[in-house]
Amino acid sequence: MVKKHRSLTLSAALGTALLLAGCPSPWPRPSPPSNPGAIPPQAPPPAPVPAPLPPAAPRPQAPPRENHLSPATRSLVAQAHRLLAHGDIDGASSTLDRALRIEPSNPLLWIELGRVRLTEGDAHQAEVCARKALALASGDHAAQAQAGLVLADALRAQGRNPEAQEVESRAYMH
């Protein structure tokens, strides 16, 4: 019996030593009251669980874009048309070159220049202009269709009829 008492005393002494050493104990320690008359603080309410997000709405498609000529380039294109009507192809070409210096990324000007190049008999340059117009006309279905027609005519003028037919059958040829 003495042995059991000694082991219990040792256990108690070891437990006390651990407690005093700051080791965590399995029992919670009571905290001293900070303000004897105060209401003890309550635990904060649990954070609300966020509602699941609704499925993402499909992104609206951008409305079709329309390219327009500025007043200055519109005037130059009209002048180029008058020069062409009088047979001055070189004058029409240089007038459109001036318009392109004003608005180099306007596909409508590249289409006009491609038509002039076809009139000059330079189908290769007409093809280059039409492809440039197609690249710039993304989203503008009317400009894409016009550029496609110029491209098809330029390909046909080079004897590349199968390619011309393929261009005409593409979606932008409404």
Q: What is the pLDDT of residue 50?
A: 72
The letter for the amino acid at 162 is: P
In a domain, 20, yes or no: no
Total structural domains within the chain: 1
* pTM listed for this prediction: 0.63
Classify burial at 110, counting beta carbons within 10 Å of its beta carbon; exposed 0-12, middle 13-18, buried 19 or more.
Answer: buried
**Residue 170 pLDDT grade (very low, low, confident, very high; cuts 50, 70, 90):** confident
Least trusted range by pLDDT, from 4-13, 32-41, 103-112: 4-13
In a domain, 44, yes or no: no
In a domain, 157, yes or no: yes
Query: What does the pLDDT look like over 27-82, one tens digit per residue?
Result: 555 555 555 565 666 767 777 777 777 777 676 665 667 889 999 999 999 999 99
Residues 127, 104 contacting (CB under 8 angstroms) = no
**C-alpha span between 3 and 9 (Å, rounded):** 10
In a domain, 120, yes or no: yes
Taken in order 140, 146, 147, 151, the sign of the CA dihedral is positive
Is residue 13 predicted with pLDDT exceeding 80? no
| Structure tokens, 147 | 């550029």
Q: What is the pLDDT of residue 136?
A: 96
| Average pLDDT for the chain | 81
In a domain, 174, yes or no: no
- Here the CATH number for the domain that contains residue 146 is 1.25.40.10
In a domain, 59, yes or no: no
In a domain, 56, yes or no: no
Q: What is the pLDDT of residue 28?
A: 54
Query: What does the pLDDT look like over 110-127, one tens digit per residue?
Result: 999 999 999 999 999 999
**C-alpha span between 129 and 113 (Å, rounded):** 7
H or E element: which one contains 171? none
Give the domain range for residue 158.
71-169
In a domain, 125, yes or no: yes
Nearest to 110 by CA among 131, 90, 92, 94: 131
